[in-house]
Structures are given as C-alpha cells and as structure tokens.
Amino acid sequence: MDVRAAAIPEVKLILTRRHGDARGFFSETWNHRAFAAAGILAEFVQDNHTHSAAAGTVRGLHFQIEPVAQAKLIRCPKGAIFDVAVDVRRSSPTFGRHVAQVLSADDWNQLFVPKGFAHGYCTLRPDTEVIYKVTNYYSPEHERGVLWNDPALGIAWPVRPEEALVNERDRGFPPLSLAPELFA
C-alpha cells in the first residue's frame, strides 16, 4: 500500500495493490497498522455501498458537522468516478479549495477524505458502485452540504449541469459562501 498526499495534504491518495493469479485476485483495502504508519489515524464505524445506474450521476457535496463529523475512505470497485473533496474548514489556508481524483475498478486506488471536507462524486461509467468507510455513524440532523456545481469552487465536473442526474436535496444545497454551518 502506497499512501500519497494530495494537493491538499490532509487528503490522501492510497494506491492499493492487487495480487492476482489464474483464480482472480486478493487485495488488502484497509489495514489499521499500515494506515496509522502513513499518518491516517481513523477508527471506522460504518461501511456504505452505493450503486448508480447511469454515467453522469452526481452525489454530493456532503459532510456532517460536529459532534459527528466524518472522515471517509472511498473506493470504486465497479465502474469509475470523478471524486471530489472540498475543504470547508473556515480557518484553513486551503478553505474552498478542492482535490479531484478519478477512482476506478481499473486502478483500484482509494481516497482518504478527513473531517472538515465536503465530499461528492460523479459517475463516469454506467453501473458504477462506490464503497466508503466512515468514522462516525450517519446522522441526518448533522448532515449538511454545499452546492455541487458552485462556480466559486472551480470544480471541472465531467458532466454539464443540465445533463447531471442530481437529486433535489443536493440541487438545493447553498453555495459555499452562503453555507451557514461549516467547520471553524
């Protein structure tokens, strides 16, 4: 497992190895000791699994506020996604900046998104699945979001807004400048 800092150093790209033979492959996608040695000190409590039927499906940009903020470890075992993490920590020197990374079943990489970041993705292929671990349980009353296509974020989404499949809740999130509850 090779862990690399992204453009925002708290976000990490994890190059996960697959060991294959005629039977298929084996891959270790989470190892507490290895991640801790790489500076990722996370206690995951829940795994989530999503399926998106169509390419151009956008989910996000979501986060949970304290006391149940979540760090996430994202991987795409089927299909491909354009994965995005936006720094929503108001006091951070990288506030409002983002990291974008393609994750796919082909490359088998993962992205670690720490607390204080909004997360979302766009599917690049039909029939895509995403699995992600989180460090706190889902809490609807603490869930917040930022408008996925807020122009101030400068995210080069791979789908035009009028063609994206986005649910009403995600379309209704405020732009970052108007988001009332962010991280200090």
Which residues are annotated as catalytic? 62, 132
User: What gap in Å lies between CA 163 and CA 3, rounded to an integer?
Assistant: 34
C-alpha distances out from residue 182 to 63, 66, 108, 115, 175, Å: 9, 9, 31, 11, 12
CB 89 within 8 A of CB 95: yes
Nearest by Cα to 118 from 47, 52, 168, 175 = 175
CB 4 within 8 A of CB 12: yes
